[in-house]
Structure 1
C-alpha cells in the first residue's frame, strides 16, 4: 500500500512541530482511524471469553464454539494486519521527517563552527534528528495514540459492573500518576546524559584525529584516563535515569498484574452475590489489563520520548540561531576589483576583535603578500576576505558587491582558498581537485593540476587521478596534500585566490611550482592573496601588507617595502616581521 508523502515545501528554518503535524495531517487522520479500529478489535479476546463462559459452556454447543473461534481468528488476523500497517506508517513518517530536515541538520553541522566556538559533539544536530526519527519509528507513538482510548475501556468496565469500573479507574489513576512522576524525575537527567555523551564523543573524535601525536608523545594513556572519567560520568547519569525509568516500569507491570487480580477478586465477589456472570470475571480482567497497557507502554518508552523532545527543542534552537541562507539574486562573475573596507574580525564565540579596521584594495592581475608576527591577525583577515568568518564591522567587496550579497555556493565558484590547516576529503584525487562536483570538467581539473604543478606527481600515483586518498588524505604526504589543495583552489580559474601559508610543507620544487601558480593567476587577470612566514612564498606577488597587533601597519609595493625593511633605522617595522619563521 502506498501513501501520499506530506508536503514539506516550506523552508526548514520556518518549520516547527506544529507545521510538521499539519503537513502530515492526512496521514495522522489515517493513523487515528486505524487506532480506533484496533482498539475496537482489542475487545475480541474479552468478548470471546464472555461468550465462551456465558453461552458455550452452559449450552455445551460445539458448533457455537467453532463458529466463535473462526470469527475470532479472522478478527485477530485483521488486527495483526492493522497493527503492522500502523507500525509501517510510523516508520515512514520518521523517514519523511529525516528527508525534510536532514539537509538542514547537515547545514548546521557544516556552518556552526564558523559562527560559534566549537564545543561538545559537533555532530549533535545529526544525532538529534536521528533520535527524533528513531522515536517516531518505534513503539512509543503507538502508546500515545492508544492513551485517549483508556476511558473507552473503563466505560465498558463500568457497563459490566460499577465496582469493576471503579477498580479499573483507580488503577488507571495510579499508573497515570506514575507516568507524570517519571516525566518529572527523568527530564533533567536525560538532558545531562545528552550533554555528557556529546563531551565523551568529542574527546574520542579528537583522540582519533590526533592518533599520531598520542602515539609519538606517549599521551594515549593520559587521554584514555580523561575519556574514562568522561565515560564514567556519562554512565553514572545514564544509570540513574535508567534506574528511575526501569523502576517505574517494573512497578507499572506489577500494578497492572495487581489490578488484573483485583478485578478477578471483585468479579468473584460479584458472582458469589449473583450480581455478575462467570464470563464477566475473565472479560473484566482482560479489559482492565488492556486499559492500562498504553500507560505501561508509555512509561517503558518515556525516556525515549523525553530524549526525542529535547532533541527536537535543540534542533529548533539551532535553526533559530543559524537561519538557512536566503535566495540571492545571481550576480555576474567578479572581474574588476577586491576592496576591503575597514574590516574588523571577531573569531566565532569570542568577544574581542583580532583584526581592527583593515583596509586595502586590489585590481586584476595584482598579488599581495601578508606578513607579520604570529597572532598578528593575518589568517583571521583572509578568513573574512573569503567569507569564512563574517566581519564584525566593515565590508569585503568583489566588483562593488559585498560578500553577503552572494550565496555561498555562487561565491565559492569565484574563490580559491588554501587554508593554513589543509584538509582533504575521503575520495579520489580527481574528486578533491574538482571540489566534488557531480559532473566535473576533466579538462579544467587537469588544467588546475598543471597550474599547481602536480599533474606529473598525480600521474605517478597508483591509479593516477582515480587514486583514493583516504580520510583526510592519509595516503598522501603533507607536501602532496598541500599541492593537491592548491590545485583545488585553482580549479575553474577563480577570480580571487587566497593562500594561507601555502609553502609550509613544500620543498624547493614545490616553492617554484607555487610561484608559477601565483604568476599564472595574475597573468589571467585574477587576484592573489598570500599569507606568508617564509619569504619564498612572496616571489610571485607585487604588493605587500605588514600586520602587527591586528592592524595593517603598511600596504604598498613589495620591493619598495622590503628595501625599507632591510635598511638600518628603517622605521617602526623590524626585519623579523618579514623573516620570522623563514628558512635559511
Structure 2
C-alpha cells in the first residue's frame, strides 16, 4: 500500500506496533508453555496423592482425659531406616497412672525422646499402641486431645509473633488471664515481665534477644497453657542455671499437686528424685521401672536389670519374665 501511494510510510510502524500488541498474549503463552505443562503434571500428582489418602472420618469426642497412659507392645523403627536397622524402641509395656510423676532416664540414644514423641502423638508407632484413658491415641480427636497435652521438646522452637501468642499456642480466642496463669505455673511470669515489651515482646525463629534458658521457660509456659492433664518434658533443664533448675523442681511439684500426669526426661538426679517413679531406658528397652529411690540407687551403682521382654506395670510393682510371651500384672 505504501508503494502504491495509498498509505504513508509511518503507517508501517503503526501497524507493526498494533500487531505486536495483539500477538503479545500468544507470545507469552508460548513462552510459558513449559511451566503450564509442569503445573498440569503437578496437579495430576496431587490428585493421585489425595485420592490415595482420603480425608479421615470425624472422630467421636470422648470424655476429657484424666491422664492415665498405657503402652502396649510399643515398637518403633525410623520410617527411612534401611532393611535390618535396629529398632529404636522394642516392645515396651508399661502403665502410668493419672496424676503420677515419672522420670525417664538413660544414656544418649536409648530412645527417650522418641518415646516422648510417641506418648504425645507427634510420631506414630510402627507397632503396638499408646492409650490415653484406655483409648488408642489414634482414635482421639486431635483438636480435643491437643488441649489436654502439654509438650516441651528438647529443642524449643518459638514462632514469629509475640511471647503471649507463643504461650497461647496462637489460639485466636486466647484468654489473657489463662496466658498469665500458664506463665506463672511455669515460673516464667517475672522473666517475661523483665523483657522490654513484656508479653508483647516480638520473637521469632532466629531471634537472638532470648537466651536458651529463657526460650525454654517460655516453651514450658506454652506447655502449661490450658491446664493440660498430661505434661511431657524432654530435657527441660538443658539450658537452665541453678535458679532455673530450682524453678523446674517447683513446677514439677505444683504439677503433682494439681493431679497432672507429668513425664520428664532428664539426666539430673535431683529432678528424677522429685518424681514418684523412674524408668531406666537403655537400648530401646526398659531395664527398670519403679520407685525413684530404688531405680536411682541401682543406676548409680551401675547394676542393670535384664532387658524387659514383656512387662505390664501398674502402681509401683513390675515384673519381667524372660523367654516367655506371658504378661504378669501385680495390682498396686
**TM-score (normalised: structure 2):** 0.79
Structure 1, residues 58-91: CA drift from partner, whole Å, max 9, x if none?
xxxxxxxxxxxxxxxxxxxxxxxxxxxxxxxxxx
Matches within 5 A, 1:296-311: 298-311=29-42
User: Tell me, what secondary structure is at the counterpart of 1:471?
Assistant: coil
How far does residue 519 in structure 1 lie from its aligned partner after superposition? Answer: 1.5
**In the TM superposition, what are the counterparts of 1:158-177 in structure 2 within 5 Å?**
none
CA distance in 2 between partners of 1:407 and 1:308 (Å):
35
SS at 1:330's partner residue?
coil
Match of 1:331 in 2: 62
Alignment-derived partner of residue 469 in structure 1 = 203
- Is residue 154 of structure 2 the alignment partner of residue 437 of structure 1? no
CA distance in 1 between partners of 2:305 and 2:98 (Å): 31
Query: Residues 474-496 of structure 1: CA distance to partner in whole angstroms, max 9, x if unpaired?
Result: 32110000000001001111111
Structure-2 change in CA distance of 1:446 and 1:515 (3 Å): same
Map 1:521-532 → 2, pairs under 5 A: 521-532=255-266
Q: Is the 8 A contact 1:343 1:394 kept in 2?
A: yes
The equivalent position to 1:409 in structure 2, one of 143, 146, 154, is 143
1:446-489 per-position Cα deviation (integer Å, ceiling 9, x unaligned): 11111111111111111111111233543211000000000100
CA distance in 2, matches of 1:464, 1:341: 45
Question: C-alpha separation between the residues in 1 aligned to 2:53 and 2:271?
Answer: 37
Q: Is residue 499 of structure 1 aligned with residue 266 of structure 2?
A: no
What is residue 267 of structure 1 aligned with on the other side? none
Q: Is the 8 A contact 2:71 2:129 kept in 1?
A: yes
Q: Distance in 1 between matches of 2:279 and 2:150?
A: 20
Q: 1:298 to 1:492 in 2, by over 3 A?
A: closer
Q: Does 1:344 align with 2:78?
A: no
Residues 556-584 of structure 1: per-residue CA shift (max 9 Å, x gap): 1111112233347x3458xxxxxxxxxxx
* Inter-CA distance 339–466: structure 2 relative to 1 (3 Å threshold): same
Q: Out of 488, 494, 499, which is 2:222 matched to? A: 488
Which sections of structure 1, spanning at least 5 residues, go unmatched? 1-48, 50-56, 58-285, 574-584
Question: Structure 1 residues 537 and 316 mapped into 2: Cα distance closer, same or farther (>3 Å)?
Answer: farther
Is the 1:425–1:473 contact (alpha carbons within 8 Å) kept by the matching residues of 2? Answer: no
Q: How does 1:267-346 map to 2 (within 5 A)?
A: 298-320=29-51, 323-335=54-66, 337-346=68-77
**For residues 314 and 535 of structure 1, what CA distance do their matches in structure 2 show?**
52
Query: Distance between the aligned counterparts of 1:530 and 1:323, measured in 2?
Result: 36
Give the Cα separation in 2 of the matches to 1:374 and 1:395: 24
Distance in 1, matches of 2:28 and 2:202, equals: 49
Say whether the 8 Å CA contact 1:338–1:363 is kept in structure 2. yes
What SS does the aligned partner of 2:78 have?
coil
SS at match of 2:286: strand
SS at 1:373 equivalent = coil
**Range moving further from structure 2, 310-319 or 417-426:** 310-319
- 2:263 aligned counterpart, secondary structure: strand
2:313 maps to which residue?
none
Shift of 1:441: 1.5
Answer 1 or 2: which has greater helix percent.
1
TM-aligned CA deviation for residue 411 of structure 1 = 1.6
Q: Quote the Cα distance in structure 2 between the aligned partners of 1:336 and 1:381.
A: 16
1:136-215 matches, cutoff 5 A? none
Larger deviation, residues 489-498 vs 338-347: 338-347
Deviation of the 1:326 alpha carbon: 3.4
Matched residue SS, 1:544: strand
The residue aligned with 2:15 is none
The alpha carbon displacement at 1:301 in A equals 2.3
Identify the residue that residue 426 of structure 1 maps to in structure 2.
160
Q: Distance in 2 between matches of 1:504 and 1:321?
A: 42
Q: 250, 253, 269: which one pairs with 1:516?
A: 250
Q: TM-score, normalised by structure 1?
A: 0.46
- Which residue does 1:363 correspond to in 2? 97
CA shift, 1:337, in A, is 1.3
Quick one: distance in 1 between partners of 2:45 and 2:289?
A: 46
Structure 1 equivalent of residue 267 of structure 2: 533
Partner of 1:261: none
Instruction: State the alpha-carbon separation in 1 of the partners of residues 273 and 239 from structure 2.
Output: 17
8 A contact 1:364–1:522 mirrored in 2: no
Partner of 1:543: 277
